[in-house]
Amino acid sequence: MSKIFTIVLLIFTISTNIYDPIYRRLLDEDDKRIWPIALYPSNLRLFNYIIHTFHFLAPFVINLISAIVLITKRSRQKSNVHASQTFIETFKKIKENSHLLTAPVVVVILGIPRLIIVFLSKCIHISMSQFLWFAYIVPCFALFSCVSLSLMKDFEKSTRTHCNVTNFLPSISASISEYEPQRFIWRLCFALDSIPRYIIAYLQLNHLLNRHHIEYPEHFALVQIASSTFHFLELTFLLLLTYVSSREIKWIHEYSFISFMICSLAHMLLTVSTDYLWPRIMHIPLNEQEKSVRSKRLTWFTLNIVSISISFYFYYRHVTFCEPYIYSMFCLFEYIIVITNIAYHSVIMNEWDRQGVQIQFLIK
């Protein structure tokens, strides 16, 4: 039942927001300002207000009711009281299980900025450098905080393996899916980070499609669209494996992880290949910034590949021989894979190093 509900909810969310990309346009003003503009007809504008309000209220109400029902059932099971609990006793039980109310509160916090933007009919200015820093600092903070908290408060549980050998580091999956508040921190950070990452991917695609110093521009556009498609899929599968843990729906989590890795490597490979191999117009050589950007991309891509290979080696040794500390070495290189992936994508900060660049959202 939960699997069917998840699929239906995903289809409903996509179908009720499908109009937005149809009416959204991107304008580049004199190579200084980038304007994502959404111009809706009057009837669609009303629908936009209604559907965003619904998407804001419905998850909050559902999460809140679910948390209250769960708290009530738990308190009744523990105290063997059915309908005779006093208000004070109920309040005490709610306080004991207050962590279950975290999800509704997080939903409200995440939804308020979006709701404000929807009802504001004006232009919103965001500094590009601050936007990029936010997009790539947040996942680093999530990784560091979740692993650190697991080591401090759940060390034995998070480092335990099926063969009970000694380890000193937890896997990312163990850190983010089984313990609190790590699970909430990870999901909150990636909820905040997902929209900026999608926007950056979209802006980067438009930036690449507007290059005029490339030979065979039609074929170049097709390659960049394919590369960006892999990037969008990478971000989507990352969200899936973040919000669907291996303990909830294991096959979705596993396939999402595999698909995330494949799409990530495919996007990196296509980008690095076009940087180094695609022919340019003869009289327009590479400038120093372009040389630096492609060199950094190649470095981080190489480190990512090496880290993946080494992590596979340690995982094979752990599964085959179950030696002490080997699983921790796998976990260490798992962290490096995540960091090199973030570092690779953050190279765009050097590529867009233009003073005064802003993103402006115009909603009418």
Average pLDDT of the chain? 81
Answer whether residue 23 is part of any domain.
Answer: no
Cross-sheet strand order for the sheet of 358-363? 24-29, 33-38, 358-363, 123-127
In a domain, 20, yes or no: no
Structural domain boundaries, residue 306:
127-355
Residue 271 has a pLDDT of 95
- Put simply, whether the predicted model's pTM sits higher than 0.85 gets the answer no
* pLDDT of res. 327: 94
Domain-located, residue 55: no
Is 147 among the domain residues? yes
Q: Among 192, 175, 136, 142, which Cα is nearest to 341's?
A: 136
Residue 24 lies in a domain: no
- Closest to 314 in 3D by CA, of 289, 332, 295: 332
- Cα dist. 213→217, 279, 283, 286 in Å? 9, 9, 9, 10
| Cα–Cα dist 156/337, whole Å | 24
> At residue 44, does pLDDT exceed 70?
yes
Q: What is the mean pLDDT of residues 303-324?
A: 94
pLDDT of residue 75: 64
Domain contains 101? no
For range 312-320, the mean pLDDT: 94
Q: Which residue is it, tokens 């990636």?
A: 190
Q: How many domains does the chain have?
A: 1
Q: Report the distance separating Cα 172 and Cα 260, nearest Å.
A: 15
pLDDT bucket at 151, cuts 50 / 70 / 90: very high
- Report pLDDT for 303: 97
11-15, 33-37, 149-153: range with lowest mean pLDDT: 33-37
Dist CA 312 CA 79 (whole Å) = 49
Maximum distance among all alpha carbons in the chain? 85
Tell me whether residue 229 is in a domain: yes
Q: Band of the pLDDT at 250, cuts 50, 70, 90?
A: confident
pLDDT at 319 over 80: yes
36 lies in a domain?
A: no
Q: What is the pLDDT of residue 84?
A: 52
pLDDT at 99 over 70: no
What's the confidence (pLDDT) of residue 199?
86
Omega of the bond prior to 324 within 30 degrees of 0, cis? no
Q: At what angle do helices 102-119 and 182-209 cross, to 10 degrees?
A: 30
Position 114 confidence tier, pLDDT thresholds 50, 70, 90: low
* Four-residue CA torsion sign, 147, 263, 131, 356: positive
**pLDDT value at position 355?**
47
Percent of the residues in the chain that have a pLDDT greater than 90, as a whole number: 32
42 against 304, higher pLDDT? 304
Q: Which secondary structure element, helix H or strand E, spans residue 261, and what is its range? A: helix 250-277
What the block records as the tokens of 361 is 């959202």
For the cut 70, the answer to whether the pLDDT of residue 59 exceeds it is yes
